A and B are shown apart, each in its own frame.
Chain A
């Protein structure tokens, strides 16, 4: 019994490391060519949470906040120094002219909601 618990425990730890840090999802990546992408803000997750676009393309995002808790009320693009207030049940436009290559994270104030803007 003890052996089983220990093995399961260790596997669980490996699973946590693999799932949250190593196997970062690529499947939910949405590609944009300047058209509007809707990002739903609900249940602690931006969906989609990863947006890929080419450098030189304008970035047009619409954040639609469905989560009423204060956690969801802002979206911060820290590396760009920009922040938007998200109003409940209404689209908030987040637009950038073409950005340089790189990965730009966007988060809520506490960093629990996390998303990435990937410019290639």
Chain B
């Protein structure tokens, strides 16, 4: 059955605000409106041409709305409701205050009852029936005021053939109250020595459990600190240029393709492209890169980063959920919520936990009733109640997700984005890390580092000729030469009969009729060019980790242009950290063996595999895995995608903003190899934390329940007071959350 209230809720429409791009005339309004109205579930769609927004109401999804608009030939993006987060916080605060009131009221009644009981001031049940009747009514009110949610939850889930925490609490406290009340009405039902009432226990247990929730809520607030920090990076307002005037508007109102002004020291509001002015931008919050990056016309800027001393205008290209920062937040959020295999067992147990505890409770009652000492009813009742109250499936269920949440958030602080809990768990078990050379160990931006020329030539002419031949080539080595020519302001000549020989080099004729060959030794041998002494020079360059290219003019050797890809400053330190962790580090490269060896030596890698074609990289990973290794692969996410996917954990070296690299389990936003040992340490710390939590929760329940059932009574006469059980249970979730919070203090060791 659906209640009237729920039915009303079902019929209530949601509203969405979209920013529409590409509307050039008022006529577009009707086509956008038509496209939106055609989406199933939409009841009303209104487009405002003046501010290029659309207001849609109905029951549908944003995804469908955006798709419909883009199908109609326009662009659309969702405008966030700015108050979403603050609304959430307000509701949470409200809930917190309600819990606080409930705790205080239950304590105010429970504690005096408890203390007077201990002091022996309670009248006998048979003598003070009127007083007890008053207490009964008072405590019933407290149970309703402070604990109604437990009883409602218990009844609802019972109807759905489900049992949860509420079931246990409601049964435990409900039994206590009901038994006490029946006893007051019919004292003669039990022998006089068993005539004891449990009102104070019921009320104090409710108070303690509410208190536990309070503490847990507070502790939980801290677990999501990482997300809050990321959300805090978002700018609140933007300075938009509309009709020639600059005005400050809330960030939620920034539309697609609007022009925005960023003044010195301001936060960049959304992602876009600079159209006027230049500045340096501090992107450290996203990339960890401490040095501000120079930006000018045509460069991309990212929302959440901070402008330096310049001022510029840029066009908003991505807004709302589409921005890089929003996607990082989304990715961290979804990773925080995913469960790795280690938590599955706890899941299985918690799904059968509560009914099992109910059965144990009944067995406890029967056992005490049959075998227990007199008064049996009292003993049977107290132990049954205690079993119900002490059992805590929450701690068990919470053990894994809460640690994952803190661990993933912690990693994000170091610029390490972990896609899911599984990757976080596996990262700590890796014993082999395979590193791609170009762009991973090295910067991936080759530079022309040295030129050796024959006596009849000079350096500038060789560079000019080589650059002329290589103009238009996509090859990174070629680009290095062309770039050098550009910075030297050399004017390049046109070429004829250009030929690229794969795996060898290039050949072309210049305007002045000279034939130029540029390439490796294989090319020179093929064209019968005598390398003379240059062969030794080239060897020396290769041994220093450079890639030498011979240049020959009209069939005669003219010199060597040597290109090298500088090693990132922190690569060596990061590799040492991995080796200290006992991890075998292997370098993989398409480069020749001599260059590979030189780079490997410089960074302290003993093992390398050279001359590997990109498509064969994943086979090398498979080969390592077949030998029983757990392999992590670090690469650039584009060329190395198959290898990243094949590895047990794929690490993509990001360049800051391309955060969602699909093929990788872990994205290193900083572009530094240090992210790999960081990720591994966070993984180890998190898994250790999960194990502590799971162990604690298992031990708690598997010791707590038997003790509550009175298993120690025949041995050492120990019986738990239900109030102690309530306190233990209230603290158990809080303990798990607090232990997970310890992860926040975690710092990976540095070099």
Contact surface of A with B, Cβ cutoff 8 Å: 2, 5-6, 9-10, 12-13, 16-17, 19-21, 23-25, 28, 36, 38, 40, 42-45, 47, 49, 60, 62, 64, 68-71, 74, 76, 78, 81-83, 85, 87-91, 93, 95, 107, 109-114
Contacts and interface: CB of A to CB of B under 8 A. Distances in A.
19 contacts: A2-B370, A9-B369, A19-B161, A43-B166, A44-B153, A44-B162, A45-B156, A45-B157, A47-B160, A49-B162, A62-B59, A69-B149, A70-B213, A74-B337, A78-B339, A83-B337, A88-B88, A110-B394, A111-B351
8 closest A-B pairs by CB? A110-B397, A83-B337, A68-B95, A44-B153, A20-B355, A112-B164, A43-B156, A43-B153
B710 interface: no
A41 B508 CA distance: 72
B59 A43 contact: no
Contacts of A38: 6, 9-10
Interface residues of B, number: 63
A21 B354 CA distance: 11
B620 interface: no
Interface stretch (B136-144, B358-366, B442-450): B358-366
Nearest to A93: B61
A103 B486 CA distance: 62
Nearest to A82: B334
Nearest to B422: A81
A112 B165 contact: yes
Contacts of A68: 91-92, 94-95, 98
Given A2-B369, A69-B95, A78-B339, A43 B149 contact: yes
Contact of B166 (A44, A83, A91): A44
Contact of B359 (A16, A91, A107): A16
A89 B161 contact: no
Interface string B61-88: 1110000000000000000000010011
B88 A36 contact: no
B161 A24 contact: yes
A95 B61 contact: yes
Instruction: Determine chain B's interface SS by DSSP, over half rule.
Output: helix
B366 A9 contact: yes
A6 B371 CA distance: 12
Interface in B269-309: none
A53 to B, nearest CB: 16
A44 to B, nearest CB: 4
A81 to B, nearest CB: 6
Interface of B: 6, 9-10, 14, 41, 59, 61-63, 84, 87-88, 91-92, 94-95, 98, 149, 152-166, 213, 216-217, 220, 333-334, 337-339, 347, 350-352, 354-355, 358-359, 362-363, 365-366, 369-370, 393-394, 396-398, 401, 420
A9 B333 CA distance: 46
A100 B579 CA distance: 44
Nearest to A94: B61
A2 B372 CA distance: 12
A111 B153 contact: no
A44 B164 contact: yes
A90 B87 CA distance: 11
Contacts of A82: 334
Contact of A91 (B14, B157, B334): B14
A13 B369 contact: no
Contacts of B164: 44, 112-113
Given A62-B59, A110-B396, A113-B164, 19 more contacts: A6-B369, A9-B369, A10-B366, A13-B363, A16-B355, A17-B355, A20-B354, A20-B355, A25-B161, A40-B6, A42-B156, A44-B153, A45-B159, A49-B162, A74-B337, A76-B337, A88-B92, A95-B63, A112-B164
Contacts of A20: 161-163, 354-355, 358
Nearest to A74: B337
Contacts of B363: 9, 13
In this complex, the member of B94, B213, B366, B370 whose beta carbon has the largest number of chain A beta carbons within 10 angstroms is: B366
Contacts of A17: 355, 359
A83 B421 CA distance: 12
A36 B88 CA distance: 24
Contact of B420 (A24, A49, A81, A107): A81
B397 A111 contact: yes
Contacts of A13: 359, 362-363
Nearest to B160: A45
Given A38-B6, A64-B9, A70-B220, A112 B161 contact: no
B345 to A, nearest CB: 12
Given A83-B338, A95-B63, A16 B156 contact: no
Contact of B157 (A5, A9, A44, A69): A44
Contacts of A2: 369-370
